[in-house]
Amino acid sequence: MALTEFASSNAATVQRWAEKLWIEMPREIYWGKFMKENTIDAIIEVKRDLEGKPGDKLAYTLLRKLSGAGVTGDAILEGNEEQMTTYTDTLTLDQVRNAIQLAGRLSEKRTAFDQRMAGKNILKTWLAEYIDDDIFTQFDSAPTDVQFAGNATSIATIDTGSTLTVSRIEALVARAQKASPKIWPVRVEEGDYYVLATHVDVAYDLRQSTQWLDASQEAGPRDYSKNHLFTGRLGIVGGCIVHAHEKVPIATNYGAGGALTGASMPFMGRQAGCFAWGARPEWWEKEFDYGARIGFAIGAIWKFKKAVFNALDNSVIVLRAFRTSN
């Protein structure tokens, strides 16, 4: 039986698939809805300063709000200017790659295009999930402001009553507004909003609350489609957009006996983190065994870092709660 031959992977074909990958990748990444380029008014600020350029380190800056009173009337302003406070952090780019190699004998019902499409989709999903997992992990790494649901004050004191409630979300908003320095919300048309990323199990518990139905119907912008922050939201509570995702960090050692299930969820404001691309996601194809086999590879140079200034998380509060394990 003759082996099925693949169409030759010429440079134009590979480039075409690489361009498609670059367009589609941001939509695949869950955190993509919270990202914006070249603006501090985003949960995650995206930088492309090193894209296609030498170097693997990027410094990014946080601006603090002015706190002075200014001058009034004919008072002299010169010599009474306020010092602009900034903090700078640095992230170092890294590379991640993965590949698949298809078997040599293919069903006659399959074509080279079908295999390329399947390979692209599965690798694209892998890279998007890899990036999502890393961002969730970073937000939960060594948090400097940890709060607890219910009456708990630590992981050990969490019990089955320590579920997420509307009141706890409102308390997080108040804590962010009173924080020093203040955690600033993201400006969206008519309003300012924070974001809470809950685990899907925690979201289930939240929706059982008698407060949820009314509170979650809080009015937002007239046209939600204009901002991706609202895409996939569960609801809006007290100026906080509530989301849910299965990759939010979970635990099985909460409670006094260390046997309760829980979740550790980021509550975020403006400039909670920085994401940098060092190079566009790339796509490679390679033939093996005289063209009888073909492999597909994907790779990207990037880095995400939670914003930490003066040893404190800049715009993140981590909430830990009991979760019903469904």
What is d(CA 243, CA 197) in angstroms, rounded to the nearest whole number? 5
pTM of the model: 0.84
Tokens for 187?
């400006």
Q: Provide the b/e sequence for 33-72 (b: ≥16 CB within 10 Å).
A: bbbbeeeeebbbbbbbebeeeeeeebebebeeeeeeeeee
Which domains occur in the chain, in start order? 11-62+85-139+274-309 (3.30.2400), 146-272+313-322 (3.30.2320)
pLDDT tens, the chain, 326 aa long: 333 344 445 555 556 666 666 556 667 899 999 999 878 889 999 988 777 677 788 877 766 666 677 778 887 878 877 777 677 778 899 999 999 887 665 543 455 556 777 888 889 899 999 999 999 999 999 999 999 999 999 999 999 999 999 999 999 999 999 998 889 999 887 789 999 999 999 999 999 887 887 776 665 665 555 567 788 888 889 899 999 999 999 999 999 999 999 999 999 999 999 999 988 888 888 888 777 778 889 999 999 999 988 888 989 999 999 999 76
Q: Are strands 260-268 and 250-254 parallel, antiparallel or unpaired?
A: antiparallel
Contact 272, 45 (CB under 8 A): no
* First-to-final CA distance of the chain: 50
Largest CA distance in the chain: 94
Q: What is each CA distance from 61 to 19, 39, 90, in whole angstroms?
A: 31, 11, 9
